[in-house]
């Protein structure tokens, strides 16, 4: 499966998230309005903002599929990484909102008892979002998409928020009102932690960071080719989900142009087969 096919497959995950959020947000807000549940109402508003994050990811995946042009000779693959970054910003905003709202509940505790239907709505929503999370997580691994991975983590966070709402509503049925803010605090910190991990991964990619251990492993693979006398230099960066390498090797100075070219072709094939790297720029220098 090539890069564009991967991105098209990723769109399915984004669309599933959008439809799930639209359905859950409307259901939660309607049921919370007559079920007297502030927790479910807040959860519904949370899902409303998540629609924006999913749309941002969808737009990023769409832009990533655009072919190279005069200003983007390497293509538009990094739009996918930028979409992940936007999703992280939205997630951390939601996480902070959850934390502050639960602190407010601790300072000003409410004693209203919501309808039990709101609790079942919350746990049902958590199950739906967990299924969407598993689908997007497996899809992100299959197509190696950072954007869909970010979407999956957002799905998981929303499942946790719904579980927190369920615990709070259920606790209110038995007069245990402190369960709601406690669950909210825990969930809020989990969301912020997940957002930080996505943010860190996205910024490392955008600043051309590449795992040094993986570079050494790839360098050893290139060194196994008999005609390569020395791997002088190797650099790597990631465009979307595709690694790109710049390699400088030293070979016998007596080789002609065709023989040198054949060596680069062999290296490219080896890296594609063994490491899944489809874009490698190889510079040849004489070994003296």
Summarize pLDDT for 13-25 with one digit per residue, the tens. Answer: 889 999 999 999 9
Residues of the chain with pLDDT > 70, as a percent, come to 95
In the block, tokens 């040094």 appear at 212
pLDDT at 56 over 60: yes
The answer to whether the CB of 40 falls within 8 A of the CB of 165 is: yes
In the block, tokens 């299924």 appear at 131
Considering only residues 272 and 146, tell me which one the structure prediction assigns the higher pLDDT.
272
Q: Per-residue pLDDT tens for 152-172?
A: 988 998 898 899 889 888 887
Fold of 3-206: Alpha-lytic protease prodomain-like (1.20.1510)
For the chain, how are helix, strand and coil distributed in percent, rounded to 5?
A: 70, 10, 20
What residues have CB less than 8 Å from 148, skipping those under 6 apart?
Answer: 10, 13, 14, 57, 136, 139, 140
The residue ranges of every structural domain in the chain are: 3-206, 212-286
Which two tokens mark 177?
A: 């009102």
Q: What is the pLDDT of residue 111?
A: 61
pLDDT at 110 over 70: no
Q: What is the pLDDT of residue 36?
A: 78
* CATH match for 212-286 among 3.30.70.1350, 3.30.365.10, 3.30.420.40, 3.40.50.10860: 3.30.70.1350
Helices 212-223 and 257-275 pack at an angle, to 10 degrees, of 130
The answer to whether the CB of 30 falls within 8 A of the CB of 142 is: no
Q: What is the pLDDT of residue 134?
A: 95
113 phi-psi bin (left φ>0, alpha ψ -120 to 50, beta other): beta
Average pLDDT over residues 36-59: 83
Which two tokens mark 277?
A: 């790297």
pTM: 0.74
**SS3 of residue 234 by DSSP:** strand
pLDDT at 135 over 90: yes
Average pLDDT over residues 109-126: 84
- Which residues share a beta bridge with 283? 248
pLDDT at 3 over 80: no
Count of CB atoms within 10 A of residue 254's CB? 7
């Amino acid at each position: 499966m090539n890069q564009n096919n991967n991105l098209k497959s990723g769109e399915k995950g984004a669309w599933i998230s959008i439809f799930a959020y639209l359905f859950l947000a409307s259901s939660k807000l309607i049921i919370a309005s007559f079920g007297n549940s502030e927790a479910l109402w807040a959860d519904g508003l949370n899902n409303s903002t998540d629609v924006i994050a999913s749309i941002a990811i969808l737009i990023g995946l769409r832009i990533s599929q655009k072919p190279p042009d005069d200003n983007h000779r390497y293509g538009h693959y990094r739009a996918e990484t930028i979409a992940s970054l936007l999703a992280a910003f939205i997630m951390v905003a939601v996480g902070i909102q959850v934390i502050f709202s639960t602190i407010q509940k601790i300072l000003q505790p409410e004693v209203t008892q919501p309808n039990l239907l709101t609790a079942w709505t919350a746990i049902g929503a958590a199950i739906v979002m967990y299924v969407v999370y598993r689908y997007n997580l497996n899809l992100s691994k299959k197509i190696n998409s950072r954007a869909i991975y970010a979407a999956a983590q957002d799905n998981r966070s929303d499942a946790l928020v719904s579980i927190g709402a369920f615990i709070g509503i259920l606790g209110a049925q038995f007069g245990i009102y402190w369960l709601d803010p406690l669950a909210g605090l825990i969930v809020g910190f989990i969301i912020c932690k997940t957002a930080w991990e996505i943010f860190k991964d996205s910024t490392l990619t955008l600043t051309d960071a590449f795992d040094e251990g993986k570079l050494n492993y790839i360098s050893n693979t290139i060194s196994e080719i008999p005609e390569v006398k020395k791997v002088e230099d190797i650099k790597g960066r990631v465009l979307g989900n595709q690694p790109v390498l710049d390699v400088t090797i030293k070979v016998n100075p007596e080789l002609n142009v065709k023989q040198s070219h054949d060596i680069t072709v062999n290296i490219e094939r080896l890296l594609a087969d063994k490491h899944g790297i489809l874009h490698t720029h190889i510079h040849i220098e004489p070994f003296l």
